[in-house]
């Protein structure tokens, strides 16, 4: 009987199977892997690890607390939907909205700008989160011009510095690099990581893409190579999207950034440049920002004053030191309906996907 391409790739992965730890750093990869049970159809020794690829999961508590403090002081907070459900120190943005504060869900920065234009007497803050994929649209909006009563709480993250850190902190053998992010940054930024001995394959989001990415990492390991390869050429090229990056760096500069559950990573975030500081919520509302306690250590995630995170092991989940089923709260006290930690909130969260597609594992 004729085998299809997926079956041939699975056979090939089996034939070449050696103990291997391949990390992806993209919530959409986790979704494909969990939804189609890819871990169950490849040999056990080929482990697929889930890294910090979910934007709302890595947004630090201090930024959520700042957004809530802004709302409590009368500002209008605008945010993507899944960010609104992530717990901060005293609850989520949704909880604050239930308390009567003006917090609105938007689908893009343009929705937030429209609110500011329509209501010039209000101070509107857009909670800007996400990786290299979402930051360019925020940069484009600022370059087009925004009203004076509008500002951005910038919480963007850059993926290559986090991958670099993970090569030091975890015993990962290679990476499936994120297809979405790579459409913007291209394949070059991964070169320094592969040059240190870590095979990297830029991978798309279909089952076939993921299986192909795995075989390409296996090939590199087997032949003693480590380079950056592109298994997603229909969307990603070497240079990436030059126009998007040009806009990005017209508006933003790289800065050290705090990743929830991981801690500070050098040059892994984006801050607004001086020319745009009048739209920087941290600058505009410095009096409120300065009162926010800043999360400094990964262990802080367990030490919330009101016990919100007691028992949550998101810090270990985000760095692939543990799997969701090892969390004592998984599927019990913590579920998508009642998330205790950030990894259970978003469609891109590892705990969310394990709960939705593999929830019987370990509980």
> Residue numbers of the site for ligand SF4 (CB under 6 A)?
312-314, 317, 324, 327, 329-330, 334, 340-341, 343-344, 351
Toward ligand SF4, which CB reaches closer, 231 or 329? Answer: 329
Toward ligand SF4, which CB reaches closer, 150 or 330? Answer: 330
CB of 91 to ligand SF4, least distance (A): 15
Q: What is the rounded distance in angstroms from the CA atom of residue 69 to the CA atom of residue 170?
A: 36
CB of 340 to ligand SF4, least distance (A): 4
Toward ligand SF4, which CB reaches closer, 189 or 349? Answer: 349
Toward ligand SF4, which CB reaches closer, 159 or 343? Answer: 343
Toward ligand SF4, which CB reaches closer, 174 or 341? Answer: 341
Q: What is the rounded distance in angstroms from the CA atom of residue 24 to the CA atom of residue 31?
A: 11
CB of 108 to ligand SF4, least distance (A): 27
CB of 3 to ligand SF4, least distance (A): 37
CB of 31 to ligand SF4, least distance (A): 16
- Residue 150 in contact with residue 116, Cβ under 8 Å? yes
- What is the CA angle 109-115-119, rounded to 5? 150
Contacts of residue 267, defined as CB under 8 A and 6 or more positions apart, other chains included, come to 158, 161, 254, 255, 256
CB of 344 to ligand SF4, least distance (A): 4
CB of 54 to ligand SF4, least distance (A): 11
Toward ligand SF4, which CB reaches closer, 126 or 352? Answer: 352
Toward ligand SF4, which CB reaches closer, 153 or 313? Answer: 313
- Residue 338 in contact with residue 332, Cβ under 8 Å? no
- What is the CA angle 58-60-64, rounded to 5? 120
CB of 39 to ligand SF4, least distance (A): 17
Toward ligand SF4, which CB reaches closer, 104 or 321? Answer: 321
CB of 83 to ligand SF4, least distance (A): 15
- Residue 112 in contact with residue 106, Cβ under 8 Å? yes
Toward ligand SF4, which CB reaches closer, 48 or 312? Answer: 312
Q: In this chain, which residue has its C-beta nearest to ligand SF4?
A: 341
């Amino acid at each position: 009987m004729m085998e299809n391409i997926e079956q041939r790739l699975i056979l090939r992965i089996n034939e070449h199977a050696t103990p291997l730890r391949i990390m992806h750093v993209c919530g959409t990869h986790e979704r494909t892997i969990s939804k189609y049970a890819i871990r169950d159809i490849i040999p056990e020794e080929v482990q697929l690890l889930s890294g910090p690829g979910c934007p709302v999961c890595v947004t630090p508590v201090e930024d959520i607390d700042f957004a809530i403090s802004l709302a409590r002081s009368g500002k209008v907070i605008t945010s993507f939907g899944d960010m609104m459900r992530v717990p901060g120190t005293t609850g989520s943005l949704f909880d604050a909205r239930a308390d009567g504060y003006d917090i609105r869900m938007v689908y893009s920065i343009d929705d937030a700008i429209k609110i500011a234009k329509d209501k010039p007497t209000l101070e509107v803050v857009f909670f800007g989160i996400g990786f290299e994929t979402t930051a360019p649209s925020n940069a484009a909006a600022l370059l087009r011009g925004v009203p004076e009563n509008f500002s951005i709480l910038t919480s963007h993250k850059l993926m290559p510095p986090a991958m670099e850190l993970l090569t030091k902190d975890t015993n990962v053998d290679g990476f499936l690099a994120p297809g979405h992010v790579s459409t913007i940054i291209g394949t070059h930024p991964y070169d320094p990581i592969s040059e240190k001995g870590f095979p990297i394959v830029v991978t798309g989001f279909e089952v076939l893409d993921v299986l192909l990415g795995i075989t390409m990492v296996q090939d590199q390991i087997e032949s003693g190579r480590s380079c950056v390869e592109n298994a997603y050429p229909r969307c990603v090229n070497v240079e990436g999207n030059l126009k998007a990056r040009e806009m990005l760096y017209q508006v933003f500069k790289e800065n050290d950034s705090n990743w929830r559950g991981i801690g500070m990573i050098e040059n892994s975030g984006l801050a607004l440049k001086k020319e745009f500081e009048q739209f920087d919520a941290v600058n505009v509302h410095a009096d409120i920002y300065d009162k926010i306690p800043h999360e400094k250590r990964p262990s802080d995630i367990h030490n919330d004053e009101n016990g919100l995170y007691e028992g949550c092991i998101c810090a270990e989940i985000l760095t692939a030191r543990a799997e969701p089923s090892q969390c004592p709260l998984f599927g019990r006290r913590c579920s998508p309906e009642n998330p205790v930690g950030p990894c259970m909130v978003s469609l891109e969260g590892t705990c969310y996907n394990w709960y939705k597609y593999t929830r019987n594992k370990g509980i």
